[in-house]
Amino acid sequence: MKQTGDPGNKKSTGWLWFIIGIGFSMLWPSAAVATKFGLQVAQPFVICVTRFFIAGSLMLLISHGILRKRLPQKQEWKQLAIYGLLNNALYLGIYVLAMQHVSAGLGSLAIATNPVLISLMSTMIFGQRLRLVTVTSLVLCMCGVALAAWPLFEHSFATPGGISLLMLSMLIYSTGVIYFSKQKWGNLHILTINGWQTLMGGLFLLPVAIATYDKTKNIWGYNMMAPVLWLAIPVSIIGVQLWLYLLRDNAVKASFWLFLCPVFGFVIASVMVQEPIGIFTVAGMLLTLAGLYLVQRYKSE
């Protein structure tokens, strides 16, 4: 009789990690295109705050109202506030500002800088050593993203200010990833973590949104709410749930899925806003997948 042991469990966990990673990598870059559509009819902070309140409220309703999960306690409130400030208020607030001055494709491409930032910051701050397999995977993924992005530069636009804001948002995002991975969350449900940190991000940004609000720049209706609801539910709820699952496993290796985000981002941008895609994108995707497979193959090391 076939025994069920550790090898089978590791194989199952490996496939689950892969499927969740692919799901996250498809949902996360769709935010760049949705944001571009939203910015046509709304101010940046209005998009952010509306998105955060909708997503946070829905997650907390499910977590506490339906699943009856416990509320955060004592130190956990502080952790959630800091994570919400980094991961939502600062990162996404600055990111949406940047998206006014860069294309959707370049917005997705910037996400690929995070694995490098996370790996380097973890090494410098916590003394984590970079294994050869990690370095090799980094090189493969970086080459894949660069190859996929090559035809995009000819048709994309960006301003120095937009690029600077984009890179600042990525640095803050990487800081948030490291912060989350180093906290002890106990048995706090993942929906509870995501719901409260998202809602807190909205609360942090609310005063700024009110102070800068201009009713002539916000056209409430389908054209605004469609992208906002996409950002709130598939991205902020489903996408972030998948991301937090990956982070709880291993922050550095989870970050490798960010390399695949631009590849899917190119495909989405090509379909939705007619940005170019061709043999370079396909070749880049294959290189990126090779790097991801490599790091997943030795994930247990």
Mean pLDDT value across residues 249-276: 78
Q: What is the spatial distance between Cα 100 and Cα 125, in angstroms, rounded to a whole number?
A: 33
- Three-state SS for 87? helix
Position 1 pLDDT exceeds 70: no
Which residue type does 186 have?
A: G
Q: What is the spatial distance between Cα 26 and Cα 32, in angstroms, rounded to a whole number?
A: 12
How many residues make up the chain in this entry? 301
Confidence category of residue 255, pLDDT binned at 50, 70, 90 = confident
Model pLDDT, residue 297: 66
- Among 197, 209, 236, CA closest to 93: 209
- 239's tokens: 């996408």
3-state secondary structure 208-243: HHHHCCCHHHCCCCHHHHHHHHHHHHHHHHHHHHHH
Q: What phi-psi label fits residue 122: left (phi over 0), alpha (psi between -120 and 50 degrees) or beta?
A: alpha
pTM of the model: 0.80
- Kindly report, residue by residue over 92-146, the tens digit of the pLDDT: 999 999 999 888 877 877 777 777 777 777 777 777 676 777 778 778 877 877 7
Q: What is the spatial distance between Cα 290 and Cα 301, in angstroms, rounded to a whole number?
A: 18
Mean pLDDT of the chain: 84
Can you say how many angstroms the Cα of residue 300 is from the centroid of all Cα atoms in its chain? 24
Mean pLDDT value across residues 215-233: 94
Confidence category of residue 156, pLDDT binned at 50, 70, 90 = low
